[in-house]
Chain A
Amino acid sequence: MNELQELYREVILDHNRQPRNFGAIDDADRVIDGVNPLCGDRMTLYVKLDGATVQDVSFRGTGCAISVASSSLMTERIKGASIDETMNLFEMVHDMLTSDANEPPDKLDKLVALAGVREYPSRVKCASLAWHALRAALKGAEHEVSTE
């Protein structure tokens, strides 16, 4: 059960049970659909910008605990952050999810809860879907993103 508890930390379970920023933003500047073809999960990310700042962000969709918690933690963290900061955060999260070489930087704070997926290669995409959608949204893409 130990590795499992690493994966399903209390923070993850909590954000899965009560996702933050769940729902649509009617006047969003960017709306991006993300799909994980492996499991058929879909999420839609809504971003409202104020100049170079993420003024508001939310998501909707169905997914496993890892993908819901990742989306929820992400939106909680980036609300009010600058686009530069957010892109930087994307890189750090990406590194944390895909390489176990380094300890995750302290800056990641609560997002470190996602580090458990490194032991589960098939689940990395669940955790990264929201982040890929976010990066696409901030880059101004309007099409669908996929984890593939």
Chain B
Amino acid sequence: MSAVATKSPDLAPITDIASLREDFPALQQRVHGQPLTYLDSAASSQCPQAVLDAVVRQQSLDHANVHRGVHQLSERSTLAYESARERVRDYINAASEHEIVFTRGTTESINLVAESLGGSRLSAGDEVLITWMEHHSNIVPWQMICERTGARLVPAPITDAGEIDLEAFDRLLTDRTRIVAFVHISNALGTVNPARELIAKAHAAGAVVVVDGAQAMPHKRVDVRDLDCDFYAFSGHKMFAPTGIGVLYGKERLLEEMPPWQGGGEMILTVSFDGTTYNALPCKFEAGTPNITGAVGLGAAVDYLARIDFAALEAHETALLGHASERLTEIDGARIIGTAADKASVLSFVIDGIHAHDVGTIVDAAGVAVRTGHHCAMPVMDRFGVAATARASFALYNDDDDIDRLILGLRQAVELFR
């Protein structure tokens, strides 16, 4: 039996996005007696059957540790794990599989860069430039490394629409800026940042660029060489793969230079008490037994996404966002937070007199799953003067019926509270 899912490059790209919904078993269920309306994919997305099958096959027949056995299952497992890496490389158009480091997710990817790159390059007087719309996972690791090295963390402000204030960004990007880290698509606002432009500016200033791509992967066909970012971090569980697996893409030259991060098995060549020599990329950054099954699931998710026509996908999601934003005006006192011109299908909103938490509980009774709270982006909440928002996020499997049920749930909330 072959451990490697075969790619089917000959199949025509899928343009009928609505047909994808039936691939997701989780969406076929009812909750509280209502059809499930899952509008929380920005927090974590559901898995298609193809991913679930790949995970079950790997775990039931091909499981063994990787890179260290000569026996049949170990060979299969290693092949499956490395083939997942190759498919991720191909999908994001990285130059080499040495540039694909498997991690636990975006958070771990950013911590790896912050500690290894930041730890070796930053010193007092240096600056790390981020933005006001970052997820806590693209703030706190930088704060920690700045504290350790004496560097300064500088946040670039955002406008009332929730876009990066480009004038301010230009002003704050100086010859002291060593690292620029920003989110490709904001999870709290939906803003799509002009990544290529920001990366080019940062490079012109001599800075290294780290992009948080957690929210971009399920919505955009990301090409790291076209972007020309130095690092790109993302999580499997936001792009239809399981939790516990993610990726740090890094340019080989930089990863090569960086000191190892965690020590242990897999990342070494030789160990003696006189010293240790480190393994080549990407293993240098993958200490310990990795999440093999997760990687296989991510490989299957990438295969799933690779078959989709992203122009059709973006049209589908833009239509959903437009429709949902318009229907929200029917709700008394509703206000959208995040009105960027270029916006992904993430709809953050507040309703006068009803706390987001209550909105979430009430629509849940109608089978509608939305996220409520600060979305791990407290500075964004402060910027817009709200404690929390409700957020409906739309993925490829959502449709207009989901929006109808959301609006119905919101009407119930307003009725109950007025």
Q: Which residues of A contact B (CB under 8 A)?
A: 1, 3-4, 7-8, 13, 16, 38-42, 62-66, 68, 120, 123, 126
- Closest A-chain residue to B355, C-beta based? A64
Complex contact A65–B417 (CB within 8 A): yes
Q: Most chain-B CB neighbours within 10 Å: which of A1, A8, A64?
A: A64
Closest 9 CB pairs of A and B: A64-B357, A64-B355, A40-B374, A62-B387, A39-B373, A65-B358, A4-B365, A64-B358, A39-B357
User: Nearest-CB distance from B104 to chain A (Å)?
Assistant: 21
Chain B residues with a Cβ closer than 8 Å to the other chain, count: 18
Residues of A within 8 A of B417 (CB): 8, 13, 16, 65
Q: Which residues of B contact A (CB under 8 A)?
A: 354-358, 361-362, 365, 372-374, 378, 381, 387-388, 412, 416-417
Contact partner, A39, options B354, B365, B372, Cβ 8 Å: B372
| CB within 8 Å: A-B pair count | 53
User: Nearest-CB distance from A42 to chain B (Å)?
Assistant: 8
The DSSP consensus for interface residues of chain B is: helix
A-B contact pairs, 19 of them (CB 8 A): A1-B412, A4-B361, A4-B362, A4-B365, A4-B416, A8-B358, A38-B373, A39-B356, A39-B357, A40-B374, A40-B381, A40-B387, A41-B387, A63-B357, A63-B387, A64-B355, A65-B354, A65-B358, A120-B361
Complex contact B387–A66 (CB within 8 A): no
Cα(A16)–Cα(B381), bound, Å = 22
Complex contact A40–B373 (CB within 8 A): yes
Complex contact A41–B412 (CB within 8 A): no
Complex contact A123–B416 (CB within 8 A): no
- Closest B-chain residue to A5, C-beta based? B416
Residues of B within 8 A of A123 (CB): 357, 361
Residues of A within 8 A of B374 (CB): 39-40
Cα(A63)–Cα(B417), bound, Å = 15
6 further A-B pairs in the complex, CB-CB below 8 A; given A8-B362, A65-B358: A1-B412, A7-B361, A39-B373, A40-B378, A66-B358, A120-B361
Cα(A69)–Cα(B124), bound, Å = 49
Complex contact B357–A1 (CB within 8 A): no
